[in-house]
Amino acid sequence: MSKTVFITGSTAGIGLTTAQMLQETGHRVVLHARNPSRAAQSRSVLNAPVVVGDLFSLAETEAVAEQVRSLGSMDAVIHNAGIYESGGRVQTVDGLERTFQVNVLAPYVLSALIPLPSRLVYVTSGMASGGQIILDDLQRQQRRWSATGAYQDSKLCDIALALAMARRYPDTVVSAVCPGWVRTQMGGAGAPTDVRTGSATQGWLASSDEPAALRSGRYIRHMRELPVPPAAADEAVQRGLLDACAQLSGISLPSV
């Protein structure tokens, strides 16, 4: 059966390739672009609706959710957008650390404001294994700044966020996906995994009716289940992360 799938960060790389692969197999996709110029680029590649908004801004993230709601219900949402920034610690217009806001808080906000689909997919990274979830220092205000550390932390948080959502909403199939080290602008030309391989699992989880795609609360790479990092599996940490995101954004998740 055809599905309607919203994919964040889908103007290039893994997000766009996931959209293309879904469309090739008969599914409807809704793309997301950071700004109008990127939206125009996406439309030149793929004939699909595009919502526009910069996830560096809470107000624009809320506007993205509003645009998605206006398009009707989604069968699946793939939280693909993410950044890895070298250099020093930078704050957004909301006074929040950029990597945390885009990689963790934005998917939380969108999860809270887009009507709950039957499937949720959170794209993480193998680098999560080097991360930490320090609930009273999620934005590395107290620890020594490390751009790599901030990215690792954020991707570990994404696994915890996925598992927390799976626990909270048992009627929704929720997964965290590591696409591998993929040859994209972020991954670089020397990465060992081609972009279609790195995109396939997300599309499968969002659209397939195979029993293996319908098991919730898993961490997956290339359609194989991975062990969950202990910090992300901790239920108290999961609850603390949801509480922190609610406090920072001023937005609560819908009732069960």
Q: How confident is the model at residue 144 (pLDDT cuts 50, 70, 90)?
A: very high
Structure tokens given for 44: 């030149």
User: In this predicted structure, which of 155-159, 183-187, 191-195, 251-255 has the lowest mean pLDDT?
Assistant: 183-187
Q: Is 219 a catalytic residue?
A: no
Q: Which residues pair with 77 in a beta bridge?
A: 6, 120
Mean pLDDT over 165-187 rounds to 90
Query: Do the beta carbons of residue 201 and residue 223 sit within 8 Å?
Result: yes
Q: Output Rg (C-alpha) for the chain, integer angstroms.
A: 17
Domain 4-249 CATH class label? alpha beta
Domain boundary assignment for the chain = 4-249
pLDDT reported for residue 134: 98
Amino acid sitting at position 179: P
DSSP state of 213: G
- Spatial contact of 191 and 10, defined as CB atoms under 8 Å apart: no
Q: Which of 3, 108, 122, 155 does the annotation list as catalytic?
A: 155
Mean pLDDT rounded to a whole number for the chain: 96
Task: Give the DSSP H/E element, type plus range, for residue 164.
Answer: helix 147-168
pLDDT digits (tens, 9 = 90+) for 11-20: 999 999 999 9
182 pLDDT band, cuts 50/70/90, is: confident
In the prediction, which pLDDT does 132 show? Answer: 98
Cα–Cα dist 64/53, whole Å:
6
Write out pLDDT tens, residues 73-112: 999 999 999 999 899 999 999 999 999 999 999 999 999 9
Q: Give the mean model confidence (pLDDT) for residues 146-170.
A: 98
155 is catalytic: yes
Cα distance between residue 39 and residue 11, in whole Å: 7
Catalytic residue among 108, 122, 151, 219: 151
Specify burial of residue 59 (Cβ count, 10 A radius: 0-12, 13-18, 19+).
Answer: exposed
- 3-state percent helix, strand, coil for the chain, nearest multiple of 5: 45, 15, 40
- What percentage of the chain carries pLDDT values higher than 70? 100
